[in-house]
Every structure is written in structure tokens, then in C-alpha cells.
Amino acid sequence: ISFRCMGCSTEEMGLFLDFNPFDNLLCILLGISFTVWFTLLLVFIIVPAIFGVSFGIRQLYMKTLLKIFEAEAEHVVYTLYNECVIEPTSLEEEIKEIRRSGSNRDLDHASEFEMSDIFYFCRQGVESIMDDEVTKRFSAEELESWNLLTRSNYNFQHISLRLTVLWGLGVVIRYGFLLPLRVTLAFTGVGLLVVLTSIIGFLPNGRMKNFLSEQVHLMCYRICVRALTAIITYHDSENKPKNGGICVANHTSPIDVIILASDGCYAMVGQIHGGLMGVIQKSMVKACPHIWFERSEVKDRHLVAKRLSDHVEDKTKLPILIFPEGTCINNTSVMMFKKGSFEIGSTVYPVAIKYDPRFGDAFWNSSQFGMVNYLLRMMSSWAIVCSVWYLPPMTREEGEDAVQFANRVKAAIARQGGLVDLLWDGGLKRGKVKDTFKEEQQKLYSKMLVGTQEDRSRS
């Protein structure tokens, strides 16, 4: 009645009657929450990332987690499997021992072939099943104690109620606070990378463009590092890769690129993708001379080598970042380096990367998890803690072929990172063992028999 007396129409009266003060209050609270959230991100994460500084919050967070893990370690009982159950011995020594124990005859006076020799090959087959040093490099690294995430130890025995409560609190913290924060930072870092590199691409080539490109790449990668709560310790920075060189590193995860690129700029090498990854690649190459290959070009080794060689000959261009293993290994080993990047003749800067599995498993098992699922696991873990060692530069020695050079670099990386140095090809992650490996064992056995015959004929 009062509205009608004030001269309001029926439609205006409906607007007044439908008005709910609680809706307005909810909008205000949401606006305040968003403002506070964005301000915290800007002040404590994005701005420090732009200038490359840290307030020490991540280090304090890591120390707190370590105290919790150490306090609760006694509540969980594990029995770890040995890293190497079976000690390797040579073919000749084992067959010699088998023949001695079976017929009390020495290898030097044995016949060309004895039935007991088959026991050596049977034993090798059983040992390979029990302790396959290749297959276990493509599964999660076992932990001595539970980190309140997944149980990567297959001999788990006991869990207490206290640990269950802590795990529940951890789920709330990781998925209720850390995950939204990290996703926001990831979108911010990737979005800025795409937009800013596209803008820089319109500038003429020169020092200004190179300077701005490097600063933008560093800023965006540092934001992405904080999206993973990555705590990285860099050692021997005086050995950092320089322009005109090739940086080679062991490969555990796709985030290896972010880990290294947040401390220095590199020219990336890779295959052209579609979708979001393709958009990122196209924007990056506008600002920096990255090397992207078409699917058909990757199969042409000579074309790839030519483009890499042309890049390193220009000393004004950034060092190339390459992972010669070609696949991700589970942070315990280094597998065979492909020789392609060692045939160019440029200076090689080895880098060793070692992750701390107590805070999160950085290994990407691509045959089990897709990229989105993997990134979700990374962003919902406690943190990504790792150490990076820059090793002294290495060059190919006189009389050394590409394979020998690659093995020497690989051995140096494995030694520094505390990793197992393996000769196996990482391609065995998806493919079958080549016939050449089988033939190698046959050659060793035949060589042993031929050597026995020659020794007997001379005697």
C-alpha cells in the first residue's frame, strides 16, 4: 500500500519485493574474498617471482613437513627390498663355477659344451624376473616411510589411527587450499607466457627483444615453479650453460624444463604439438629461437642434426636444452644417452637433477598417467623438492666417438646425482628387447668356448 501511495508501478513493486539483502551480502563477501586472494598471490608470490626473490615461506613449509615425517616415521614399519638383490658376475666365471661344482673339472680342461652350462642361462632368466633392473626403473621409487600421500612401498605392514587422522588433515590442506592456489598460479604463469611472448614477437630482432624475452621467460617459469611449490637448490652456478653450447640432463619429469629454465634461459628442442601446447609453442618461438620439429622431420636424423648445428654455431643464441635419454626414468638411475646430440661437436654442459621423493613423486609414468592427471598429482602433493648440480663443461676428446662421449657425460651425471649408471636403452619402457642384446650373450658364450679350444690346442 505504501509503494502504491508513492506512485510505483506494478513492475517496480515486483522489483522491490524480489530484492533479497542476503544476495547482496554474498556478492560483497565474494568480492572481498577474491580481492584478498589475488592480493596475497600478487604480494607474496607473483611479485617476488618477477624479481627472483623469496620470503623463505617455502623453506619454512618444507622444514615443518620434515618434522612431521620424522615424528611419525616410527609409527610405520617397512621392510625395504634391496636395491640390488643379485650381484652381477661374468658369464665365464659363473659357468666355470657351475662346471667345477658339477663335475670337479676346471674350465680349462672342459669340453666344448657341457649340459651343466644351461643352468647358467636358466639362472639368468630367473634372476631377470626376480630383479629386473630395467622394468623397476619405470615405477615409483620406494620410500622408507610413508609421506602421507600414496604408498609407493609394496611391503607396507602397519598404519596407526594417528597417521590416518594426519592423512585426512593433509587431504583437506592439499585439496582445499594448496591445489586452488597452485592452479591459479599455473594459469597465471602460462597465460602471461603466451600473452607477453606474443607481444614481444612484434619487436624487431635485436638486443632489446632478446633482453625482454629472457626476462619474460624467467618470470613466467618462476611463477610456474611456485605453482608446484618447488624448492630447488642450485649448486656450482659458475658452470651454468653458456650461449653456443648444449645442456644435457637426466630426465625424470616434464617439469625438468621448468626446474632448469627458472634459473636460466634455454632454447627448447621438441616436436610440434596441437591444442594448448601448440599455442604455447607458437607464442614462445616468436620471442625466442626455440627449435620445434614437425613429426615427419623428427625421423630425419640428418635434418635434426643440421638445425642443431646451425643453432650452436651462432654464439648469440641461447644454449640448447636436451634430455638425451628420450624418456622419463624414476629418479633412481640414468639410462642410455642417445648419441645424436653428441655428434654436433659443440661444448656440452652436463646437469644432474635429483628429486627428494619424501615430498612428492616427480616421476612421470606416461604409460600409466596422462599429462593432465600427472599435473594434478604434482599440484596435490606436498611439494617438489630437488637439487640441481651444474657440472664443468665437457668436450669430445680426440679419437672418441659420439657413443663414448655420451657414456662419459652420462657417467659424470650419474656420479654427481647419486644415480645408478645403466647401459640399457630407455626405449625398453614401451618396446621389446632388441635381438642384438640376445646375440651379444650368444657371442660371449661362443667366444668363451673358442677361447677354451685355442688354449687346449696350444697346450
Question: In order along the chain (459 residues), what is the average pLDDT of each group of 10 residues?
Answer: 46 48 69 72 71 76 82 55 47 64 51 63 65 69 74 61 82 89 88 90 87 89 88 91 90 90 87 77 84 70 78 84 88 87 86 91 82 86 92 89 90 92 75 68 70 52
pTM for this structure?
0.75
Residue 57 grid cell: 615461506
Q: What number of other Cβ atoms are within 10 A of residue 289's Cβ?
A: 17
Residue indicated by cell numbers 669340453: 111
- Would you call 354 helix, strand, or coil by DSSP? strand
Q: How far apart are CA 284 and CA 216, in angstroms?
A: 10
DSSP SS3 for 369 = coil
**How deeply is 233 buried, as exposed, middle or buried, from its count of CB atoms within 10 A (0-12, 13-18, 19+)?**
exposed
pLDDT at 166: 83
How far from the centroid of its chain's Cα atoms is residue 328's Cα? 6
What was the pLDDT predicted at 291?
82
- Looking at residue 6, its pLDDT comes to 46
Residue spans of the domains in the chain: they are 1-53, 186-424
Residue 14 CA to chain centroid, in angstroms?
Answer: 61
Q: pLDDT of 127-152, one tens digit each?
A: 665 556 677 677 777 777 777 787 66
CB-based contact 351:391 (threshold 8 Å): yes
The residue type of 80 is L
pLDDT tens digits for range 288-306: 888 887 766 656 667 777 8
pLDDT of 20 reads 57
Q: What is the DSSP letter of 239?
A: G
Separation between Cα atoms, residue 158 and residue 450, nearest integer Å:
56
- CA dist., res. 23 & res. 433, Å (int): 66
Residues 6+ apart with CB under 8 A from 448: 91, 92, 95
